[in-house]
Structure 1
């Protein structure tokens, strides 16, 4: 190697590790040795061999799970990719890595071993091409990771040249190079200039461009939604639009058109809210049509999520304290440091942080770096002016479009009811999920986990963690200053908080040795649930009603209420003292301190009003009837037979009531849209379900409603089959049906399940035969991959098969032939728990169950057609499907009840016919 200059790094060279390459196929492991020989072994042999010598592979944890062994050391190509290309995405498969590197992918497993070798070579070659500055930054981090045992370090350092000097943090202090956010003057109050139907249509036309095909439904949809962007006529009566837009309507651009126009005209943001993070990403992509200049888009549009989604720089620095923590942590922190230097916005969940990295390196080790515990110290933080969360918040104040989610919108409304800066215009996409989102946001859980978290937030960790982990005293003690009353209130709050559960509370409660009033209360709840539930030994969560409580429980509740009263009083005093300081020292406080005090007041107020106050109300009403409009129950929460939490729960029977009060009535206009708002079974009253699920029935004035039919020909493009001769509770029969239907479709299939145990049983029964036939099978709860990554893989690999539950049904958006068959194991009836029983009684009895089930079927069926040329078969393996559920499907689609043999033949023939038709169209277009 030769020196480029005195200050230059040495020229890099490529030194691949001398180790075999491993790719798992359907019938075993395929190996490429360092001298170029390819061989095949069984899974059992592969499991033995990987332990003897670390192989080069993709996603070692998923391979370990497939081999049925514990994680083992390996040269994981995903780690090398994450280091070399921070904040860039790739699918965690051999073909996914190859595509990200612009290498020609191959479905042949044997060929993939060579492809994996080429991919490693390509990444290292890229590292040799970095500029001197970037090579120096990367090499220092690689040196630190290498000293911690990162096995890629020698190859990376060889490609980068010599590492240069090291500093205190070993190059991991990535925050040093981040830009600071700038302060802006407060925004003036927004105007209220209307957007007309004609203007909305014209803006839509501009975004689509002159070459785009005209879609009348999309233009009409855009015109309708413009009515939400006109001035309201009376207080608490927003201009509300309910718009059901069938698949293929193009509703995203349809509502962006009037929303962006209103924002430009009036100098205020429109908040577009979704239920899933996947749709947030899709909307962000669609905004490229509006903002073609990336710099303009960065200024005009921002994605907002809860604080727990973003990396906290102070958490990251604290993880580095004392020589970058434990050696094993340095590898993880090195990869995160590389990402910090390249990320768009610091979003670790659904942003540009690789979705597979937490699973690869240990989810808890990475997600503890996010701001998950409400511990922010704002301007007292040394990284405050570089904070990703503050940058996002400030960008949102200046943006035209804010892409948020239902949970964040509802928490903002509930905790800041009098904030004049709350949005005045909303678009709620995935509006069919508003009921469930409101249920999560406005319920009250007096549980062990919730109260232990409150103790930790106030009094700090009992594990001796540093800095703000010590609680309120460390975070706001300096804001109280010399105020004796404030200091006394702070100490009282901390003493009162220590009566709440601390670490080990669940073990003590289980062992009958509770410590403190909350643990005593939980111990008695546990006894009542175990005594009165129908299946106390169930591996799933169990519950019981509140009525006729154990005699000792009333005394324990009174004791706990007094303890919570002793906490609420000093907390309330603290909030008032801080508010007084804001008022009395208005001329002296700098803006950063004002913001910090305001945030502290919000945090305290939120916990008193959203936690302590509802808990105390519940305790006082424990011996009386549950108030009208609410449902109460006791429960022990379990996952896989392991208890994780227990307590006293309360929900609104209709959670759209608080949603309407805190969000809709405060807004001036809102669009609520989805492809599945109505229940077609109701005929003329088909909007009744939409009104009930969205909160529209709580409004003074009725909404403007309209349905926009899908442009797709459902009768021509889909088939719906109910299989009549498979017994749904015989898992061997169900598994055989899945297997044969998947083989008939040639992959491109989604299997949906109503219970995790059913998914696991089918997965175990079909994985071998499908692998032998050459199909890649992926499964939620089985593969060491998160749901969004599984969906991404399924979307890209056209002949793969994915098994999943509700999260897959609601979150999957797979256009093209990658999804051509959808198989449901049985009807997705609502789980008959205590909360559902109360709602069933309030909303129409068995008709309510039918309504919910039809909406789930409608949502699942809608996954099949996403683009004009899509096609697919929907199969229900439940012969008990009643005819009253048929309206979940388009009326022009015939539901065929067939035996399994005929269902398989129809599936094979229909898909083959459609694929031949598409091939002919493709050939004709080429000619």
Structure 2
């Protein structure tokens, strides 16, 4: 038995287990024990938060699991650890501490197993971690024997991708009537219950894969499929037929990572054999999601220190076994980076856009390049809206541009396009561009390299190219530099861009700050600018113009290198030049957009855009300043860049029409998907959910909780969660109120044996919070927009949804402009109905689900009730009545489970 104490803390108390004894202790003693002695615990970041001891560290079981079982997920709770170790689950909090000791022994026993699948590389990693003083290293190292021969480890273990001949253009084929339905039968299994709605959906989706009749006129199908229709298999049926017969790839685009993972599982029906599926189905994400091997190498060689260096070693261990190197939503456990709170993993990805492509020593093993090449030969590419738009706007893969798209979660296309085609001339953006061009300055450390270092050997081939690099580096000196926020705050900006940002800040405070301001961000329209801003705009524009010119010149000189094809321009060198051209072109376009925005200062407004000034703050602390521009209708560039070059696209969602009346709903769907900007009208299809909402769900509008009273709001949440015995998703429109409610009810619920999780409170990523919530029917989860739109928790774990109030749109400059153009209050109602429909959609996910949806707002207008499915009963009640009805519904469910012979639910997560 390990000679270390084990510590567990929950909202219900603190316990320590040592020497065969378990006892409850106070917070002060717990901190003293943790500070004096290495302790075994589960999720040090979370335990430290509960103890009020942010620097808590020790023998974290999650870190040990990440070392022993890299690329394997475990729910980071006692229940999750019991599952992966095969131990009995503790039934109450006081039993958790001794359980942690047994779990540590069970995990370490894996090192003695002859068939431990992740043994390779473990000894080498343990030696490195020992030198870094990782708390588990002495325990692990003594159990690992040195390999007889040098073991392969990471960079020598990763496979290399190979160049392939370009894929031919897809053939022109037509899917015959009935073929999609027949393929659907194969996917669902012959003899399965027939679902008419799903079959009709598959037939309607087929139109998106028909041959295109006119240029810039794709076959666009808008399809709303209510929850339970089975739309995923419904569109996979015609998509797989087209890919198979045409020899092309269908890109399926999502908005959430949860749906990407779900799609990956659904494609197992198409290709049951894992080896075949790896070649036929590829998941693609943006570059910033994948581990950069060059950044990792730098971290392992001293670029990281202390705890960050431990994280790098554990990530390296994971990378050797990862399926795709995806650090965000892939097989890297989402909880691993959160254990290193102040030493995040973002530095291990390519978030600065400094990739040198074929100039990288790990280019042939690069996860990003491997995914890009695999997608060119795949049948199904699972991507996301942002990546689809980025690839269409500035992707390098022109020859393999997709011709068929499926946009699942299509109601989010508008929001994704809004972000993609936005312009922001801010201090944060300009300093990132400066770093990309100039490279490290002063005491900067790390692998960061400037434009000259990245391209000097390529540009040396061309004198004009070398000169352009020098001019770009010189011009970048006018951009904001380190310390710019402090200088502006002190009234001493340096350079034309900082002068501009100082003028923006002054005018924003003058026009936007209100008495009693809460310290959140400020913004004001870019209208009637004062003389100071107008005077600052001209030299800023001149500085940006001096920067964009050499960037454009450099891009052209590199294109000339490609056309001249010198002897040294082999395949890898060509790839490197092409990558540089794309990256430089993107930056040049960004600077050109900034210049267009500056031309608006003191000039006429452009009716296509909304422009404003902003000072971004959090809790009163400024973190960015700048000018912003958004398209009034961002689906215009989306239609031009993505839809028009395509041959067919299916836009689908369970809430595509946003809960409006029939014709109005379709007009909303068309307006928010880009259909009005196409010459050919979109086809429409709708299939109602097969669920019996009238008996499976009810909507309760609570009329006696005073708006703005956090104490009353917290009391309402606590009473409802207790009545439901957990299983509650609490949705908030403001993080401040979420934190206020959580702080008031967490201990109260703990005394009832009901765990409470909270986004923006618990030091756990959102995906892992949902995994914990899904795994424990007694837990409840509080969150904001991300949980309203992206949670799929069928079954017993989600039986109550509580919203703090009507999700009114935030009154911003951008919203005001779109509201004016969209019909005023009617526009607001559309947004609110869509949000309510999404929130309600979390509740009923399958035919045997049931539950209640509670709105804590007496001000809920009746005109918005059409957001809920037809037939669902809506009742206005007091809080007491709501609590009684929720408890009665729980009792009814428990009775049904008892009759069915289901086991009782455990109380501990």
Q: Secondary structure at the match of 1:160?
A: coil
Q: Secondary structure at the match of 1:817?
A: coil
- 1:774: how far off? 0.8
Unaligned 5+ runs, structure 2: 904-909
- 1:465: how far off? 5.1
Counterpart of 1:20? 5
Q: Is the 8 A contact 1:26 1:775 kept in 2?
A: no
> For residues 418 and 18 of structure 1, what CA distance do their matches in structure 2 show?
57
Counterpart of 1:255? 235
Judging changes above 3 Å, is the alpha-carbon distance between structure 1 residues 140 and 417 closer, same or farther for their aligned structure 2 residues? Answer: closer
Q: Is the 8 A contact 2:431 2:479 kept in 1?
A: yes
> For residues 744 and 803 of structure 1, what CA distance do their matches in structure 2 show?
16
1:30 aligns with 2:30: no
Counterpart of 1:319? 299
1:283 aligns with 2:289: no
- 1:437: how far off? 0.3
Counterpart of 1:919? 898
Q: Secondary structure at the match of 1:881?
A: coil
- Tell which deviates more after alignment, 522-531 or 51-60: 51-60
1:581 aligns with 2:561: yes
Q: How big is the alpha-carbon RMSD for the aligned residues of Structure 1 and Structure 2?
A: 1.9
Counterpart of 2:206? 226
- 1:362: how far off? 3.3
Of residues 391, 401, 406 in structure 1, which corresponds to 2:385?
406
Q: Is the 8 A contact 1:656 1:694 kept in 2?
A: yes
- Tell which deviates more after alignment, 17-26 or 340-349: 17-26
Of residues 83, 87, 91 in structure 2, which corresponds to 1:103?
87
- Tell which deviates more after alignment, 106-115 or 142-151: 106-115
Q: Is the 8 A contact 1:375 1:468 kept in 2?
A: no
Q: Is the 8 A contact 1:467 1:474 kept in 2?
A: no
- 1:162: how far off? 4.7
Counterpart of 2:139? 155
TM-score (norm 2): 0.96
Q: Is the 8 A contact 1:514 1:523 kept in 2?
A: yes
Q: CA deviation digits over 1:809-847, x for unaligned, max 9? A: 111110101000010001000001100000000111101
1:649 aligns with 2:628: yes
Judging changes above 3 Å, is the alpha-carbon distance between structure 1 residues 384 and 430 closer, same or farther for their aligned structure 2 residues? Answer: same
Of residues 538, 563, 570 in structure 2, which corresponds to 1:590?
570
> For residues 856 and 603 of structure 2, what CA distance do their matches in structure 1 show?
45
Judging changes above 3 Å, is the alpha-carbon distance between structure 1 residues 773 and 552 closer, same or farther for their aligned structure 2 residues? Answer: same
Counterpart of 1:91? 75
Judging changes above 3 Å, is the alpha-carbon distance between structure 1 residues 435 and 134 closer, same or farther for their aligned structure 2 residues? Answer: closer
Of residues 266, 283, 293 in structure 1, which corresponds to 2:273?
293
Q: CA deviation digits over 1:592-612, x for unaligned, max 9? A: 111111111111111111x11
Counterpart of 1:738? 717
1:267 aligns with 2:247: yes
> For residues 252 and 339 of structure 1, what CA distance do their matches in structure 2 show?
31
- 1:78: how far off? 0.3
Q: Is the 8 A contact 1:196 1:223 kept in 2?
A: no
Query: After superposition, where does 1:293-692 map in structure 2 within 5 Å?
Result: 293-322=273-302, 325-362=304-341, 364-416=343-395, 419-463=398-442, 469-535=448-514, 537-585=517-565, 589-609=569-589, 611-692=590-671
Q: Is the 8 A contact 2:38 2:58 kept in 1?
A: yes
- 1:681: how far off? 3.2
Q: Secondary structure at the match of 1:241?
A: strand
Q: Secondary structure at the match of 1:242?
A: strand
Counterpart of 2:161? 181
> For residues 51 and 447 of structure 2, what CA distance do their matches in structure 1 show?
43
> For residues 37 and 588 of structure 1, what CA distance do their matches in structure 2 show?
71
- 1:132: how far off? 9.7
Q: Is the 8 A contact 2:121 2:152 kept in 1?
A: no
Q: Secondary structure at the match of 2:192?
A: coil
Counterpart of 2:907? none
> For residues 411 and 220 of structure 1, what CA distance do their matches in structure 2 show?
33
- 1:329: how far off? 3.8
- 1:106: how far off? 3.1
Counterpart of 1:907? 886
1:719 aligns with 2:698: yes
Q: CA deviation digits over 1:352-378, x for unaligned, max 9? A: 011011110236442201111111111
Q: CA deviation digits over 1:435-491, x for unaligned, max 9? A: 100000001000001111111111112145578623111111111123211111110
> For residues 152 and 497 of structure 2, what CA distance do their matches in structure 1 show?
42
> For residues 468 and 490 of structure 1, what CA distance do their matches in structure 2 show?
20
Judging changes above 3 Å, is the alpha-carbon distance between structure 1 residues 918 and 519 closer, same or farther for their aligned structure 2 residues? Answer: same
Q: Is the 8 A contact 1:173 1:317 kept in 2?
A: no
> For residues 237 and 773 of structure 2, what CA distance do their matches in structure 1 show?
32
Q: Is the 8 A contact 2:396 2:582 kept in 1?
A: no
Counterpart of 2:125? 141
- 1:417: how far off? 9.9
Q: Is the 8 A contact 2:307 2:340 kept in 1?
A: no
> For residues 482 and 605 of structure 1, what CA distance do their matches in structure 2 show?
20
- Tell which deviates more after alignment, 792-801 or 501-510: 501-510
Q: Is the 8 A contact 1:143 1:163 kept in 2?
A: no
Counterpart of 1:72? 56
> For residues 148 and 485 of structure 2, what CA distance do their matches in structure 1 show?
50
Unaligned 5+ runs, structure 1: 1-15
Judging changes above 3 Å, is the alpha-carbon distance between structure 1 residues 859 and 328 closer, same or farther for their aligned structure 2 residues? Answer: closer
Q: Secondary structure at the match of 1:644?
A: strand
Q: Secondary structure at the match of 1:606?
A: helix
- Tell which deviates more after alignment, 76-85 or 100-109: 100-109
Judging changes above 3 Å, is the alpha-carbon distance between structure 1 residues 172 and 440 closer, same or farther for their aligned structure 2 residues? Answer: farther
Q: Is the 8 A contact 1:27 1:43 kept in 2?
A: no
TM-score (norm 1): 0.95
Q: Is the 8 A contact 2:338 2:344 kept in 1?
A: no
Q: Is the 8 A contact 2:610 2:817 kept in 1?
A: yes
Counterpart of 1:237? 217
- 1:74: how far off? 1.1
Q: CA deviation digits over 1:116-160, x for unaligned, max 9? A: 222111111111215699646211211211121111112112222
Q: Is the 8 A contact 1:83 1:338 kept in 2?
A: yes
